[in-house]
Amino acid sequence: MTTFEIRSPDGRTTRTGTLSGAAAITPRPPAEPGVLRYDVTAHGAVTLRWTWPAEEAVTLWQATQDSRRNLPTDWGANREVRSVRSAPVATLVDAQDRGLLTISLSSNVRGCDFAVGVNEETAEQLIELTVTDVEGDGFTLRIDLRDQHFAEALRAVTTEWAGELGDRIAPVPDVARQAMYSTWYSDHQHVSAESVERHARASATYGTEAVIVDDGWQTDDTRRGYAYCGDWEPTSSTFPDMAAHVRRVHELGQRYVLWLAPPLIGVHSKAWEHLQDRTLGFADGEVVAVLDPRYPEVREHLLECCIRPVRDWGVDGLKLDFIDSWARDDVPPAPDGDCASVDEGVERFLQAVTDELRGLRPDVLIEFRQDYVNPRLWQFGTFLRAGDCALDPVENRVRTIDCRLLAGDRAVHSDMLMWHPAASPENVALHFVNALFSTPQVSMEPDALSPDHERVVRHWLGFQRDHADVLLHGVLLPSRPDARYTQVRAVGANETIVAVFTNPVVRVEESCTVLVNGGAEQRLYVEGAAGRPVDLVVSDCSGREVHRETMTAPDVWAVDVPVGGLARIVLD
């Protein structure tokens, strides 16, 4: 067992950590105050362990789709990180949004158990990281003890990962940041060439740039199962001529993204006969199994299935789903495999797919879904969608913000927006407001919207498009992750946009601030501009102006903003 020292920037707090396993640890000379880095050389699994006081922490922010916001105990804190699930980072956050302790591992870690939890005996945080799979012969542990906003702490981690990966990171086409239409919630598995073309034609008038054709194109079975997955060929009954169909969608001005679930193989597929002994086990009863990517023949089969839609049918990209099905425990041996781990096999497969697809079209689109947030997947995906949360705007807010905080320069999309046909216009607007800091995907029948809903959708899609520089590229500063983000602020070069959810008090300091009301009440309270001339314009959820005035700001003043509406404040 080897020891290493962890010391706070002021030198007042020191702890001794331990490293167990066949490994050596070397501290790097500090490059910046408060950031500690240790290079670990490892041969097999190794464990790093230490405690740290963080009595002001109110939550542990973790890279996981599970949006619970708590301080776990050390006996319940284990989080298994894989290339295809979660990421090796966590930060303890206080009630003022400060990151008290941010821990991360370098981007070459494929697999680890990442545990941060309250130790009941010491009232300190116990950190225990067991690294099991690494690209290369070592990795770096990074500990950030600086006093800063937790989003800045996470941004520093993603910047470091980006530097490590360099030009291996997949380029993000501009269209990946444009609104898209998805067929999933509107059609589910009842999708057809006719319905896709109808959606593409109608959604194009709202400003979408692509249609994502989800599950159903490859099967006549509409029972929401996957027993027929594995061949990835269009069903002749609803997609009789895939290439001609894709051309028609292109003629409507829309890109075409096609859903596949590469890990899954159903017992009713043609491929089952020759690949059934190349699986990791069943995933759904005994009708759907998970293919084992450690075998070359599995990767070759999946590569052809992924290349065919682009090469032969002309699609513009793939939505690769259920990738985290490859993050399995108790993996059986692969005596004829050529990879040391499942994660290595997954990465070999994804690398082959992206190499081939970029050769066919350099701006190919690849969608991944939360919880595939590991930086290792930056090499392959071009946009990341929040995990499924149908009809749940608050969860969409939490998931899109969580994804943004860890995505680096990846494009982040909302889960598909849907609402009840009889919903109020304000309710429709709140779905967009909660997903404001991401690229929206919409999954409602666009040509069946009521006039009120149509006005709201056009307004918010237009607002997100017109303010994309701030919303998608500005400095993102969300508040109170323990309370599921009470406000979210994006600071751009010329304006700041603040979405207000459960904290109605907003501080205004920049010359131009747009307040977006995502809460349940109209009244917001503004501070920070006392004595300054203010131009105020208020609009409702469909963009219709409802109030305008010029005033001198008091210390705190109340502004009535309709639910789902916005107020533009310009300080002279």
The whole-number mean pLDDT for each consecutive block of 10 residues of the chain, a chain of 572 residues, reads: 94 96 93 95 95 96 83 94 97 98 98 96 97 96 97 98 97 98 95 97 97 94 82 95 98 98 96 96 92 98 98 98 94 94 97 98 97 96 97 97 95 98 98 98 96 98 98 98 97 97 94 97 95 96 98 95 98 90
On whether both 120 and 210 belong to a single domain, the answer is no
The answer to whether the CB of 264 falls within 8 A of the CB of 325 is: yes
443 vs 101, 196, 225, 333, CA distance in Å? 39, 12, 20, 42
CA-nearest of 499, 31, 416 to 212 is 416
Rounded Cα gap, residues 332 and 357, in angstroms: 31
**Nearest-CA neighbor of 509 among 494, 492, 527, 521?**
527
Looking at the structure, do residues 237 and 362 belong to the same domain, yes or no?
yes
404, part of any domain: yes
Q: Does some domain include residue 184?
A: yes
Is 270 a domain residue? no
Co-location of 453 and 480 in the same domain: no
Q: Which of 466, 499, 521 is the last residue of a domain?
A: 466
- Rounded Cα gap, residues 93 and 409, in angstroms: 23
Contact 547, 538 (CB under 8 A): yes
Together in a domain, 432 and 503: no
* Other C-beta atoms lying within 10 Å of the C-beta of residue 429: 31
Q: Which residue range is the domain that position 500 belongs to?
A: 475-571
Report if residue 114 sits inside a domain: yes
Alpha-carbon gap, residue 8 to 146, rounded angstroms: 9
Indicate the residue among 449, 466, 483 that finishes a domain: 466
pLDDT for res 68: 75
In degrees to the nearest 10, what's the CA dihedral of 370, 376, 377, 379?
150
Q: Say what the pLDDT of residue 355 is.
A: 97
Residue 285 is predicted with a pLDDT of 84
Beta strands across the sheet bearing 210-213: 411-413, 383-385, 365-369, 317-320, 255-260, 210-213, 180-182, 441-442
Residue 347 dihedral angles phi and psi, to the nearest 5°: -65, -35
Strand partners, 16: 5
The pair of three-digit structure tokens given for residue 43, joined into one six-digit string: 């041969």
- For position 66, what pLDDT does the model report? 75
Which CATH number goes with the domain that contains 428? 3.20.20.70
Helix (H, G, I), strand (E, B) or coil at 470: helix
Residue type, 474: G
495 and 555 part of one domain: yes
Same domain flag for 164 and 179: no
H, E, C per residue of 382-405? CEEECCCCCCCHHHHHHHHHHHHH
Split into its structural domains, the chain has a count of 3
- What do you get for the CA distance between the two ends of the chain, in Å? 63
Whole-Å CA distances, 150 to 7, 144, 221, 291, 557: 20, 10, 46, 39, 29
198/156 same-domain check: no
**Quick one: 391 and 419 in the same domain?**
yes
Tokens of 308: 């065919």
DSSP string, 346-366: HHHHHHHHHHHHHHH-TT-EE
* Distance (Å, whole) CA 418 – CA 442: 7
Task: Please name the residue that has the structure tokens 């903003």.
Answer: 561
Q: CB burial class (10 A; 0-12, 13-18, 19+) of residue 70?
A: exposed
Which one of 421, 448, 466 terminates a domain? Answer: 466
SS3 readout for 190-258: HCCHHHHHHHHHHHHCCCCCEEEECCCCCCCCCCCCCCCCCCCCCCCCCCCCHHHHHHHHHHCCCEEEE
Q: Are residues 380 and 311 in the same domain?
A: yes
